[in-house]
Structure 1
Amino acid sequence: MRCLLLRRARKHLGRRGVFLLIVGIGQMCWGAGMVFDPPSTAGLRLLTDRCPLSTWAWLWITAGAVACAAAFLRIGRDWAGFLTAYAPPAVWAFAYAAAALSGDYSRGGFVAVWYLTIVGIIMWASGVPEYSVPPTPRRPRKGTAP
């Protein structure tokens, strides 16, 4: 019974929905980790000058929740999930790149590239069609030719 429910959920979600669900859960966990055990703010001064880190953590949590909700929408209507999924890593990449360029955080360039990689993967997944593999051709039936 459990396998049947999982198969139905997988079929309903499709490839894009499963991706959004995984990314959304990951972003919510990442944000929750920042809320409950705040990390060092090294390299994030550009962000923390505007809002406290807990506010930025809620950006991750909200974006993850929107991505999870969009996972259950039809293809073409799931664009909001992809848009909100790549917003937090893009903001973080910009902040770390700025910190690296200003000399505040020497590792910032490497961390920025890491976050840009995440943005690239999300952008790539948003362009992947749900069913890109063509169906297997059927063999011609035996019988009389017209």
Structure 2
Amino acid sequence: MPCRAARRLSKALGRRGVFLLILGTGKTCYGLSFLLTPPSDHGLQLLTRFGDLRQWSWLWITCGIITFVSAFLRIGRDRFGFLAALAPPTVWAIAYTNAVVTDGYSRGGFVALWYLTSHIGVICWAATVPEYSVPPAPRPQRGKAA
């Protein structure tokens, strides 16, 4: 029974929707980890100048929820989910890049590249993937007499 429900949901959402659903869940959980048990701020001093990591966790949580909700929108209207998904890793990549340049935090370069490739790159790629699994909406037929 649960597998049937998962298949129905997957078919209703399509590939892009499933991606947004998974991504939104992950970003929300990642944000909750910063909120509940914040890690050290190595490399994130640019962010902590403006607020602690618990405050920054709300960026991940809010964008994760927007991404999750966008999974249920039609193609074209789901772009806000992809844009919301891009915001947190972009901010973190900028912070880590800044830490490399200003503080000499060499590990920050690798973390910034990780955010740029496995987060930002994958999200940008997925946003361009056409949706084949959802059939087009039926067109009304005109002029047919019964």
TM-score where L is the length of structure 1: 0.86
2:103 aligns with: 103
Partner of 1:128: 129
Q: In the TM superposition, what is the alpha-carbon distance from 1:57 to its structure 2 partner?
A: 0.5
SS where residue 107 of structure 1 aligns? helix
| Map of 1:56 onto structure 2 | 56
Distance 1:26 1:86 in 2: 13
Distance 2:67 2:39 in 1: 24
Aligned match of 1:138? none
State percent identity of aligned pairs: 58
Q: Deviations over 1:84-134 (max 9, x none)?
A: 0011000000000010011342211001001111101001000100118xx
Distance 1:5 1:29 in 2: 23
Give the C-alpha shift of residue 64 in structure 1.
0.5
Question: Secondary structure of the residue that 2:66 maps to in structure 1?
Answer: helix
**Does the Cα contact within 8 Å between 1:43 and 1:104 map onto a contact in 2?**
no
Structure 2 equivalent of residue 81 of structure 1: 81
Gaps of 5+ in 1: 133-146
| Partner Cα distance (1:62, 1:16) in 2 | 20
Structure 1 equivalent of residue 92 of structure 2: 92
2:75 is paired with a residue whose SS is: coil
Cα distance in structure 1, aligned partners of 2:72 and 2:85: 15
Is the 1:16–1:71 Cα contact (8 Å) retained in structure 2?
yes
Residue type at the aligned position of 2:103: G
Structure 2 CA distance for aligned equivalents of residues 2 and 86 of structure 1: 31
Q: 3-state SS of the aligned residue for 2:87?
A: helix
User: What amino acid is the match of 2:132?
Assistant: Y
Structure 1 or 2, whichever has the larger Rg, is: 1
For normalisation by structure 2, the TM-score amounts to 0.86
List gaps (5 residues or longer) in structure 2: 134-146
1:2 Cα deviation from its structure 2 partner: 3.0
Aligned length: 132
Q: Secondary structure at the match of 1:73?
A: coil
Which whole-Å CA distance do the structure 2 matches of 1:129 and 1:10 have between them?
16
